[in-house]
Structure 1
Amino acid sequence: MAEIDLSAVFDAMPVGCAVLTPGLRYVTVNRAYEGLAGLPREQLVGRPFYEVFPGGPDGQGMSEVRASLERVAETGETDIMPLQRYDIEIPGRPGAYEERYWSIRNASLRAPDGTVTALIHRAEEVTSYIRQLRETHPSDASPADRVEAVQAELFARTRELEEVNQRLHRAREEEERANAALHDALQRQQQAVADTSHDLRAPLTGLQTRLQLALTDPESDSDAILHAALHDADRLGDIVADLLELARLEAGPPVLTETVDLARLVEDELAGHDPGVALTARLEHGLRVRGSALRLARLLGNLVSNAERHAGSRVEVLLGCDDGRAVLQVVDDGPGIPAGEREAVFRRFYRRPDARGSEPEGTGLGLAIARQIADAHQGTLYVADRPSGTCMVLCLPLCAA
């Protein structure tokens, strides 16, 4: 799609539009507004609004418009004005004015901090529409009643149009969000398929190679080949099991019916570990959450196993609470995770460079599963910023007392 020149779009708009400073001086106008003002853009830019439209024959015509602009500059809120009458002097007849009616809307342009930086003034002449409406009202009505009825009807129609425009705008935003989410989901699916294919290929290739060796070389060590083939098959089983667990988690959160004592869960999980590094725990007892004990144990096990793979000599598990949430930290004294990778480690099949050579047995799915379990329990899991080592932090809402 060709790039759209937004300045050209602004200039070609069929409705008169002007951009003003909060002090009501012209910044720019489009061609339609030049026609309304009867002046070229060059003679408008920098001039005060009230100087260009001083007020008509009675000196009052634009006072309400100026008040509206000042109100928008102060509050930042859009103002849709009732029907405005502002008569235009007839060219060549000084002092003679022609009746004109206007539909006016004023809005603001804000900076990120909410400060109003500019005003958007839209003016559309509706004189012909007013004349048509007058013809539809009874001729025996007083002029004041007829004008009031016309004003009320036009204002109602303007409000209706504004509501329709807002609904269309919201629908378009929702459609764009849905399209973006669909595109993102499709990309994730394609990436997941590619990652899965890549990580399954290595053990499959190893298994195939070993079996071919056993078939083609009668003198090969069949016992060693079978053990290696079994190792490859076990690795394939681990990857498939983790993929199935991720699929179950993404299908929906677990049924949160259990009250889980976190300190006891940590003690039970650590008792089953046989680490090659020192593993210690400092736990605050009495902290309980609602959730699946089985999946929370899986989450903790994944965090501890990940820490053991990367630790230099020790891993520490800390449990405490903060602001109504249980806070579980798994800390290791390994090389740490660079700031740019701290979110990437939760992606499927992501393995840190220091793990690929020294510890190739991980499936690359452990932390992705841990993040999904945390999300399913309305919790958060992230890598904390620290000068050395790695600290994984899990936060879960505590049970109500």
Structure 2
Amino acid sequence: MAEIDLSAVFDAMPVGCAVLTNDLRYVTVNRAYERLAGQPRERLLGRHFYEMFPGGPGGHGISDVRASLERVAAEGETEVMPLLRYDVERADRPGDYEERYWSVRNAPLFDSAGRVIALIHRAEEVTAYIKQLHQGHPSGEPAAARVEAVEAELFARARELQDVNQRLHQAQEDERRANAAMRDALRRQQQAVADTSHDLRGPLTGLQTRLQLALTDPEADSQEVLHAALHDADRLGEIVTDLLELARLEAGAPVQTETVDLARLVEDELAGREPDVAVATRLERGLLVRGSAIRLARLLDNLVSNAERHAGSRVEVRLSCTDGHAVLEVLDDGPGIPPGEREAVFRRFYRRPDARSREPEGTGLGLAIARQIAGAHDGTLHIADRTSGTCMVVRLPLSPG
């Protein structure tokens, strides 16, 4: 199929079309628009719409056209205007205006980010038809009544067409958002598969190597090989368990919920730990949230474990209330996290170099799971600004009762 010159198509369209900037200056027009305007395009381009079409001494209809164009520029919605009149100055007799009637449609032109960058102004003249209606009719019906009836009918049809256009535009927007969401989901799934493959490869390779050694080396210590293989299997089990938990959280799988006393949950979880550093608490009592006690305990455990890995000598857990939310903070006195990495640490399998050196066996999924759990409880998890160390902040909406 031969390549089509779209500019030639635009210029050959039988209906008058113009492209305007958002402040209503002409960018281009087609030949049909030149004929309607009675002006060559060289005189139109760069000029303001108001300047070229003042609307005659009475300003017939022009204020409606201006208002429509300004709404389209501001709101990004196509408008089909009812039949209207605005007069055009005669080219051969300046100051003398000719009565004209028009059917007008104004539409936005968007850039790739969805911003309105230009306006398409389409005008079709129906002056001859309206003048014919004003002439005598064999039925004896007054001309004014016929004109009024036709104008009402045209207005109704134009409104219907505008409604259809708006629904079509909304459907296109919905489809665009759905496609974008699907592409984003596919991208995340591909990244997750790549990350998972990378982190599973290590323990799988170790397990295969040890088993091959046991089969090929008769002098190998079978107990040592089996213990090492069991270690690799445990490592695989931890990763798979965390991945399954992430999958359940991302899928929004329903879980049993209850009213959870956060202060009591923190105390119960910390009582069963054997930390390598001092862990202090400062807890406000009576803060209740609705959710899964098991998952909230997992969130707390992941944050405290992460703090213990990076702390110099101390971890503190605080619980308070702000603006109808329970605020759980887990602080450590470690080296802190640079601002540029504060979002990256919540990605699955992301591990900072100091974390790998302190605990090589970590899965790199703990903070990703913690953020998913917070989100599943209509809450948030982020890293707060701090002069030293790290402060993880969880906000959860309080239960009404």
Name the TM-score, length of structure 2 as normaliser: 0.83
Rate the CA distance shift 1:94–1:347 in 2: closer, same or farther, 3 A: closer
Q: Is the 8 A contact 1:106 1:121 kept in 2?
A: yes
Q: Is residue 309 from structure 1 mapped to residue 309 from structure 2 by the alignment?
A: yes
* Secondary structure, aligned partner of 2:61: helix
Rate the CA distance shift 1:332–1:239 in 2: closer, same or farther, 3 A: same
Rate the CA distance shift 1:68–1:227 in 2: closer, same or farther, 3 A: same
Shift of residue 208 of structure 1?
A: 1.3
* Secondary structure, aligned partner of 2:395: strand
Rate the CA distance shift 1:18–1:211 in 2: closer, same or farther, 3 A: closer
Shift of residue 52 of structure 1?
A: 3.1
* Secondary structure, aligned partner of 1:196: helix
Amino acid across the alignment from 1:30: V
- How many angstroms apart in 1 are the aligned matches of 2:390 and 2:6? 48
Rate the CA distance shift 1:8–1:179 in 2: closer, same or farther, 3 A: farther
> 1:205-252 deviations in whole A, cap 9, x for unaligned?
111111222222232333322221111111111111111212222232
Shift of residue 67 of structure 1?
A: 5.6
> 1:355-383 deviations in whole A, cap 9, x for unaligned?
22332111111111111111111111112
Amino acid across the alignment from 2:150: V
- How many angstroms apart in 2 are the aligned matches of 1:191 and 1:28? 44
Match of 2:20? Answer: 19
- How many angstroms apart in 1 are the aligned matches of 2:188 and 2:370? 18
Rate the CA distance shift 1:134–1:217 in 2: closer, same or farther, 3 A: farther
* Secondary structure, aligned partner of 1:192: helix
349-358 or 317-326: bigger deviation: 349-358
Shift of residue 94 of structure 1?
A: 9.8
Shift of residue 19 of structure 1?
A: 2.7
Amino acid across the alignment from 2:266: V
Q: Is the 8 A contact 1:289 1:396 kept in 2?
A: yes
* Secondary structure, aligned partner of 1:363: coil
Q: Is the 8 A contact 2:289 2:397 kept in 1?
A: yes
Match of 2:381? Answer: 381
282-291 or 38-47: bigger deviation: 38-47
Rate the CA distance shift 1:55–1:395 in 2: closer, same or farther, 3 A: closer
Match of 2:292? Answer: 292
Shift of residue 335 of structure 1?
A: 2.1
Q: Is the 8 A contact 2:384 2:391 kept in 1?
A: yes
Match of 2:394? Answer: 394
> 1:232-277 deviations in whole A, cap 9, x for unaligned?
1111111111112122222325445311000010011111111111
Rate the CA distance shift 1:128–1:187 in 2: closer, same or farther, 3 A: farther
- How many angstroms apart in 1 are the aligned matches of 2:351 and 2:9? 49
Q: Is the 8 A contact 1:315 1:331 kept in 2?
A: yes
Shift of residue 50 of structure 1?
A: 5.3
What does 1:219-368 align with in structure 2 at a 5 Å threshold? 219-255=219-255, 257-368=257-368
Shift of residue 48 of structure 1?
A: 5.5
Aligned length: 387
Q: Is the 8 A contact 2:28 2:41 kept in 1?
A: yes
Identical aligned residues as a percent: 72
Rate the CA distance shift 1:329–1:138 in 2: closer, same or farther, 3 A: farther
* Secondary structure, aligned partner of 2:209: helix
Rate the CA distance shift 1:197–1:133 in 2: closer, same or farther, 3 A: farther
Q: Is residue 66 from structure 1 mapped to residue 67 from structure 2 by the alignment?
A: no
Q: Is the 8 A contact 2:310 2:355 kept in 1?
A: yes
- How many angstroms apart in 2 are the aligned matches of 1:394 and 1:217? 53
Q: Is the 8 A contact 1:28 1:41 kept in 2?
A: no
- How many angstroms apart in 2 are the aligned matches of 1:265 and 1:311? 22
Rate the CA distance shift 1:146–1:359 in 2: closer, same or farther, 3 A: same
- How many angstroms apart in 1 are the aligned matches of 2:138 and 2:300? 80
Structure 1: state its 5+ residue gaps: 111-115
- How many angstroms apart in 2 are the aligned matches of 1:177 and 1:307? 39
What does 1:31-46 align with in structure 2 at a 5 Å threshold? 31=30, 32-45=32-45
Amino acid across the alignment from 2:376: A
Shift of residue 123 of structure 1?
A: 2.8
Q: Is the 8 A contact 2:19 2:118 kept in 1?
A: no
Match of 2:167? Answer: 167
- How many angstroms apart in 2 are the aligned matches of 1:8 and 1:188? 43
* Secondary structure, aligned partner of 2:207: helix
Amino acid across the alignment from 2:29: N
Match of 1:216? Answer: 216
317-326 or 181-190: bigger deviation: 181-190
- How many angstroms apart in 2 are the aligned matches of 1:385 and 1:148? 68
356-365 or 27-36: bigger deviation: 27-36
Match of 2:113? Answer: none
218-227 or 374-383: bigger deviation: 218-227
Amino acid across the alignment from 1:291: G
Q: Is the 8 A contact 1:86 1:101 kept in 2?
A: yes
- How many angstroms apart in 1 are the aligned matches of 2:118 and 2:209? 71
- How many angstroms apart in 1 are the aligned matches of 2:131 and 2:151? 12
Structure 2: state its 5+ residue gaps: 111-115
- How many angstroms apart in 1 are the aligned matches of 2:174 and 2:400? 36
Q: Is the 8 A contact 2:81 2:158 kept in 1?
A: no
> 1:312-340 deviations in whole A, cap 9, x for unaligned?
22211111010000000111122222222
